[in-house]
Structure 1
Amino acid sequence: MLGKAELLEAIAGKNRGLLANATDRQAILAAIARLEDHNPNPQPFQSTDLLNGNWRLLYTTSQELLNLDRFPFLKLGQIYQCIRVPEAQIYNIAEVYGVPYLEGLVSVAARFQVISAQRVEVKFERAILGLQRFIGYASPQDLIHQIESGKRFTAIDFDIVNREQQGWLDITYLDQDLRIGRGNQGSVFVLTKVMV
């Protein structure tokens, strides 16, 4: 699809948005909007086989995520969003790198509820921040399995009880390997499906 190739070309080399200047961002948002106009699955929750799985972030305008790269001596690694439709769970996992042997991890688990054809309401339930080696981090899939089994980690690991910690996400484009979402804070997310 031409629009998809145009978007992927526009975000190439932008390091998930960290290297995008104002002109780049404008061109990327225009390419996203054109692709959204041709969404092959306008009701993504009726295509749960496509939606379910592990997604790696290609591009975002979310300063909350991009600011993880702004700490001294730290660099943002891969960012994953893993969706478990049958359990109505979302796991966000950000890998952080820097000083050798001090690779970090920031993870948030949330429950979602479908509230329209494209929108889910997200309620954050748990956060984990720590060093990958102390957590025993091997992969997003392994971490999710440990979280689902009820394991508590040797890290900053806490339940989120503040009911203000919620938001929504619109899934505005979905195909076999690409997903676009727009969040309640005005952020845009472009992700690709991966096996991890």
Structure 2
Amino acid sequence: MRKRIFTNAISSSVLAVIFSDDIVSTSAFGLGKVLSRFSSPGNTIIGTESPFPTFFNDNRKTSQVEAAKNELLQTISSTKNGKESSLETQKQVLSLVDFLETQAPTSPTLLTDPMESMKIDGLWYLQYTQPSDLGLEVDDIPTWKPATSSLDVVSKLDTRQANNQGTVSFLGTVAVDTSDRLTTQTIDIAQSRVTNFVEQNLFTVEVAGSYELDTVPNRVIVSFDKCDITIKNTGLVLDLSFLFDLRSFLKGGLKAGGWLETTYIDDDIRIGRGNRGSLFVLTRDKGAVSP
């Protein structure tokens, strides 16, 4: 587990659809600002001897996490799912996400414990997407590096870096705009299924598939097998599911899907990383982020 020591000396700065990057992949709240809000000058947040009992330290840590979460939701508001996020906004998002991931890491049994898995089960609203790597030398924002899976199927997934903001990529080729669009993801723990839904002006796109657990904790590998495009006000549904098998055949076994790792989750928000380098933020409440 990564250990962070944050001080005021540090400078400030999804649909692959599981939003796994094949159908999704694709603020200025630098670490200095994180510190100014969450710690006193010259003090560290984690890793320092404290004269206070553990109870008070835990409460302080909880309040810091809650403050960072709220700041993240404010930061991604009015960015149209990341489409209109500036470079400074993206840096800010990465700083906040890194803080949440390190200070409140996801339980390694989130997907294997029946009670814990209820936290991720159900409907989520996609609110923001951006690349995990901005391609810049940003010394005060650690680069997130995915753990290596021991499953052979993972080696067949597309890992080309995606650079989408506010869009999802249909079959990894055609970009679908999600800015100002209703975009949801439903995780069905009982059936081991993931369903992604994007609403457009004239039609809706629904892509679904089964998933299996990876050897990396909190990561699922999704294999898409359903794609329906429904034309509004006509009842016409175009079933394009066969394209997943066709794509896999033409790509020499490259799966039409990807992996999704949940790096932070609570009752309100979920942060995930995908196999093509995307970062995305989802919420339980549709109105948690201003459009």
Shorter chain as denominator, the TM-score bin is: 0.7 to 0.9
Unpaired runs of 5+ residues, structure 1, are: 98-102, 136-152
The equivalent residue for 1:120 is 220
The equivalent residue for 1:95 is 199
The equivalent residue for 2:268 is 177
Q: What secondary structure, in the 3-state scheme, does the structure 1 residue paired with 2:183 have? A: strand
Q: Counterparts of 1:7-46 in structure 2 under 5 Å? A: 7-39=72-104, 41-43=106-108, 44-45=110-111, 46=113
What TM-score does the superposition give when structure 1 sets the normalisation length?
0.78
User: Partner letter of residue 88 of structure 2?
Assistant: T
Task: Choose the corresponding residue for 1:154, options 230, 237, 241.
Answer: 237
Q: What secondary structure, in the 3-state scheme, does the structure 1 residue paired with 2:176 have? A: helix
Q: What secondary structure, in the 3-state scheme, does the structure 2 residue paired with 1:83 have? A: strand
The equivalent residue for 1:106 is 205
| Higher mean C-alpha displacement, 29-38 vs 49-58 | 29-38
Between the two proteins, what is the percent identity of the paired residues? 27
The equivalent residue for 1:193 is 284
The equivalent residue for 2:13 is none
Q: What secondary structure, in the 3-state scheme, does the structure 2 residue paired with 1:65 have? A: strand
How many Å separate the matches in 2 of 1:192 and 1:105? 21
Q: Which has the larger radius of gyration?
A: 2
How many Å separate the matches in 2 of 1:122 and 1:111? 6
Runs of 4+ in 1 over 6 A off after TM superposition: none
User: Over aligned residues, Cα RMSD in angstroms?
Assistant: 2.1
Q: What secondary structure, in the 3-state scheme, does the structure 2 residue paired with 1:4 have? A: helix
What TM-score does the superposition give when structure 2 sets the normalisation length?
0.54
Q: What secondary structure, in the 3-state scheme, does the structure 1 residue paired with 2:233 have? A: helix
How many Å separate the matches in 1 of 2:180 and 2:71? 25
Q: Counterparts of 1:37-56 in structure 2 under 5 Å? A: 37-39=102-104, 41-43=106-108, 44-45=110-111, 46=113, 47-56=116-125
The answer to whether the Cα contact below 8 Å between 1:76 and 1:94 also exists between their aligned partners in 2 is no
How many Å separate the matches in 1 of 2:270 and 2:285? 12
CA offset at residue 166 of structure 1?
A: 2.4
Query: More helix per residue: 1 or 2?
Result: 1
Name the count of aligned residue pairs: 169
Decide whether aligned partners of structure 1 residues 40 and 175 sit closer, same or farther in structure 2, where only a CA change above 3 A counts: farther
Decide whether aligned partners of structure 1 residues 128 and 84 sit closer, same or farther in structure 2, where only a CA change above 3 A counts: same
The equivalent residue for 1:130 is 230
How many Å separate the matches in 2 of 1:194 and 1:7? 15
The equivalent residue for 2:156 is none
Query: More strand per residue: 1 or 2?
Result: 1
Q: Deviations over 1:108-165 (max 9, x none)?
A: 1011111132111111111112323334xxxxxxxxxxxxxxxxx6324323222521
The answer to whether the Cα contact below 8 Å between 2:106 and 2:262 also exists between their aligned partners in 1 is no
How many Å separate the matches in 1 of 2:232 and 2:284? 23
